[in-house]
C-alpha cells in the first residue's frame, strides 16, 4: 500500500429462507489502515577512495536502501561536493538483494542466541541509521567469550561460494566489532573480520568464500575485543552477492528473503576534482512513500598530478647558426585525453642557462623562437623545458633533447666592408685601410681579416668587439689597386 489512510471494507452475504421466497442481507465491517512513509538509507562508496590524483576518474556507487521495498526507480538523486552540486540529477536504477537471515534485527526473542558469557542485548532501543525510531539493538559484550549469533542449519552447501555478512554499527566510545561467518554446525569453515566502530553509523562486513570441504548451513555472530562498551547494531544480513561488497539491504521479520528484495542504485563517474579535500554525499529528496535521506560522506584527498611534459624543436635536430629555432613545450595530464590541461608558465633551458619563457595556451602548449642575437651558438645543445606548476599539477621538467648547430656560411650572412683613409693617394703616401665585418643573422663575428692586393698579401688584422680592424700600408705603387678583404671565420661562421 502507498502512504496514507486506507478504509478497508469486508462484507458477508446472508441468505434467509422463507416459504415462498429467499431474502438476502449483508453484514459489513471496516478498518482504517494507516500506511506511514518508509525510511530510506543512502550508502555511498567511491573507487578509488582516500588519496587520489587530481583529474583522475572516480566512480561513485550509490545505493538507496529501502530495506527490500519497491524501488522509486523513476526518481532522481543529486550528488554534492560539500554544498556544491556535482553534475545533474542522476536517475535511480533498480537492483535486487537478498537476506538469508530470517530475522535481520539482533533480538534474542527472535531467533538470535548468545554464546559464552551472555552479553547484554537490548533490542529496539536505539534509532536506526535510516532515521527510524527505536529499530536498532544495543549489545554490550561482557568478556572475550561473549557473542550473539544466528544459526541457520540447512542442507544448503556454500562451498566455493562468495558470501558476505554485514551489519550497521555505531558506538559512542570507539571500539571494535568482530563479524564471524561459519558453516553450521561448525566443522571446517570460519572467517572473522574486525571492524573499527565510531560514533557514526557505518556498515561493517566480512566477505568469505567457503572452502570446498565446508559443511552445510551457516551461522553469523558478533563479538568484540573490548568489553563493557555498548555497540548499537542494525540491519544484519547474510547473502551471496556477485562481489565481496554487501548488496542492497533487505529487511526480514521472521522469514529469510533469498530473492525479491529491491533497492535503488546509481553509478556516477566524475573526473573534475581539483586538488584539496572533497566531501561527497548524495541527497534523495523523498516522495509520498519514502522519507528523504542523505548518504554517508565519502572524503577524497585530491593531490597534484605530475604532468606529462616534452619538448620539440623545429628544425628538428640540427640547424645552421643564425637560423630561427622554434622550441615548443607540450603539457598534458598523464592519460593525454585533453580533459585536464596544465596552466601557467614554462621556462626553456640550454643546459643550465635559461634561453626563453612562455605561457601555456588552452591546449597546454607554449613556443619560443630563438633567433638573432639569441641564436644558439654552433655546437651541441641539451635543451629542456621546466614547468612551474599550478593548482592541480606539480612542477616538472621535460626529458632533454639534443639540437646541433652548425657554422653559418659567412658568404651568405657576413658583410665585409673595406675603407681607405686617402683615396686617391700619391706615391709615397701612407694609406690606412679599414675593415668592418657584420652579420645579418647573429652575434658579431670575431677573428681576423686578410687584406690582399692582387696576389700580394698586405697583412692580416684582428677584429675588435665591434667587428672593426685597420692596416697601415706605407707604400702603394702608382696605379689602380684592387684590395680584397677576406674574413677568416670563427666558431659560428665559416
Residues 234 and 106 in one domain: yes
User: Do 403 and 325 meet the contact criterion of CB atoms below 8 Å apart?
Assistant: yes
CA distance 393 to 390: 5
Q: Which of 378, 406, 434 is the last residue of a domain?
A: 406
CA distance 117 to 139: 13
Residues 401 and 414 in one domain: no
Tell me what the pLDDT averaged over the chain comes to: 92
Residues 239 and 107 in one domain: yes
- Per-residue pLDDT, averaged over 343-370, amounts to 97
Residues 339 and 482 in one domain: no
Residues 108 and 239 in one domain: yes
Residue 224, in any domain of the structure = yes
Give the CA dihedral 112, 118, 120, 124, nearest 10 degrees. 10
CA distance 443 to 74: 75
* pLDDT-derived band at 14, boundaries 50, 70, 90: very low
Residues 246 and 110 in one domain: yes
User: Do 210 and 158 meet the contact criterion of CB atoms below 8 Å apart?
Assistant: yes
How far, in Å, are 44, 51, 79, 197, 391 from residue 276 at the CA level?
Answer: 20, 10, 18, 27, 9
Residue 45, in any domain of the structure = no
CATH code of 321's domain: 2.60.40.10
pLDDT of 458 strictly over 50 = yes
User: Do 396 and 387 meet the contact criterion of CB atoms below 8 Å apart?
Assistant: yes
Structural domain including 20 reads: 4-35
- Per-residue pLDDT, averaged over 233-262, amounts to 93
pLDDT, tens digit (0-9, with 9 covering 90-100), for 39-95 = 999 999 999 999 999 888 999 999 999 999 998 988 999 999 999 999 999 999 999
**Collapsing DSSP states into helix, strand and coil, what is residue 253?**
strand
Residues 420 and 366 in one domain: no
Residues 384 and 454 in one domain: no
**Cα–Cα nearest to 392, from 450, 332, 436:** 332
pLDDT of 9 strictly over 70 = no
- Per-residue pLDDT, averaged over 139-148, amounts to 96
CATH code of 123's domain: 2.60.120.260
Residues 378 and 242 in one domain: no
pLDDT of 13 strictly over 70 = no
Grid cell locating 474: 706605407
- Per-residue pLDDT, averaged over 283-301, amounts to 96
User: Do 347 and 357 meet the contact criterion of CB atoms below 8 Å apart?
Assistant: yes
Residue 299, in any domain of the structure = no
Residue 323, in any domain of the structure = yes
State percent of the chain over pLDDT 90: 83
User: Rounded to 5 degrees, what are φ and ψ at 411?
Assistant: -65, -20
End-to-end Cα separation, the chain, in angstroms: 97
Amino acid at each position: 500500500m502507498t502512504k496514507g489512510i486506507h478504509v478497508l471494507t469486508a462484507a458477508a452475504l446472508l441468505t434467509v429462507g422463507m416459504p415462498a421466497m429467499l431474502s438476502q442481507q449483508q453484514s459489513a465491517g471496516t478498518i482504517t489502515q494507516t500506511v506511514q512513509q518508509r525510511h530510506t538509507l543512502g550508502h555511498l562508496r567511491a573507487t578509488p577512495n582516500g588519496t587520489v590524483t587530481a583529474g583522475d576518474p572516480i566512480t561513485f556507487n550509490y545505493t538507496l536502501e529501502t530495506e527490500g521495498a519497491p524501488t522509486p526507480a523513476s526518481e532522481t538523486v543529486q550528488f554534492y561536493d560539500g554544498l556544491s552540486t556535482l553534475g545533474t540529477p542522476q536517475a535511480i536504477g533498480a537492483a535486487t538483494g537478498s537476506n538469508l537471515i530470517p530475522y535481520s534485527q539482533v533480538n534474542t526473542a527472535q531467533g538470535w542466541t548468545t554464546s559464552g558469557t551472555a552479553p547484554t542485548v537490548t533490542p529496539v532501543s536505539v534509532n536506526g541509521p535510516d532515521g527510524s525510531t527505536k529499530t536498532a539493538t544495543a549489545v554490550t559484550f561482557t568478556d572475550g567469550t561473549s557473542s550473539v549469533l544466528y544459526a541457520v542449519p540447512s542442507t544448503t552447501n556454500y562451498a566455493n561460494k562468495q558470501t558476505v555478512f554485514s551489519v550497521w554499527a555505531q558506538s559512542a566510545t570507539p571500539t571494535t566489532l568482530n563479524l564471524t561467518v561459519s558453516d553450521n554446525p561448525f566443522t571446517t569453515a570460519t572467517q572473522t573480520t574486525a571492524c573499527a566502530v565510531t560514533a557514526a553509523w557505518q556498515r561493517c562486513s566480512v566477505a568469505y568464500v567457503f572452502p570446498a570441504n565446508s559443511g552445510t548451513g551457516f551461522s553469523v555472530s558478533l563479538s568484540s575485543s573490548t568489553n563493557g562498551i555498548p555497540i548499537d547494531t542494525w540491519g544484519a544480513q547474510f547473502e551471496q552477492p556477485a562481489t565481496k561488497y554487501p548488496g542492497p539491504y533487505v529487511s526480514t521479520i521472521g522469514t529469510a528473503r533469498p530473492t525479491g528484495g529491491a533497492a535503488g542504485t546509481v553509478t556516477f563517474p566524475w573526473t573534475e576534482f581539483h586538488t584539496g579535500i572533497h566531501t561527497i554525499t548524495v541527497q534523495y529528496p523523498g516522495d509520498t512513500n519514502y522519507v528523504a535521506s542523505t548518504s554517508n560522506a565519502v572524503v577524497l584527498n585530491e593531490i597534484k598530478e605530475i604532468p606529462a611534459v616534452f619538448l620539440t624543436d623545429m628544425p628538428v635536430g640540427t640547424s645552421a647558426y643564425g637560423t630561427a629555432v622554434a622550441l615548443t613545450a607540450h603539457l598534458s595530464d598523464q592519460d593525454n585525453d585533453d580533459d585536464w590541461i596544465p596552466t601557467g608558465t614554462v621556462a626553456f633551458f640550454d643546459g643550465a642557462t635559461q634561453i626563453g619563457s612562455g605561457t601555456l595556451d588552452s591546449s597546454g602548449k607554449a613556443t619560443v623562437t630563438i633567433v638573432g642575437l639569441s641564436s644558439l651558438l654552433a655546437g651541441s645543445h641539451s635543451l629542456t623545458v621546466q614547468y612551474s606548476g599550478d593548482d592541480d599539477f606539480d612542477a616538472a621538467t621535460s626529458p632533454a633533447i639534443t639540437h646541433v648547430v652548425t657554422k653559418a656560411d659567412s658568404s651568405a650572412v657576413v658583410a665585409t666592408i673595406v675603407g681607405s683613409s686617402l683615396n686617391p693617394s700619391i706615391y709615397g703616401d701612407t694609406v690606412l685601410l679599414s675593415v668592418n665585418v657584420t652579420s645579418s643573422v647573429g652575434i658579431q663575428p670575431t677573428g681576423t681579416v686578410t687584406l690582399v692586393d692582387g696576389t700580394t698579401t698586405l697583412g692580416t688584422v684582428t677584429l675588435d668587439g665591434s667587428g672593426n680592424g685597420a692596416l697601415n700600408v706605407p707604400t702603394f705603387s702608382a696605379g689602380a689597386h684592387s684590395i680584397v678583404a677576406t674574413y677568416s671565420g670563427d666558431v659560428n661562421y665559416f
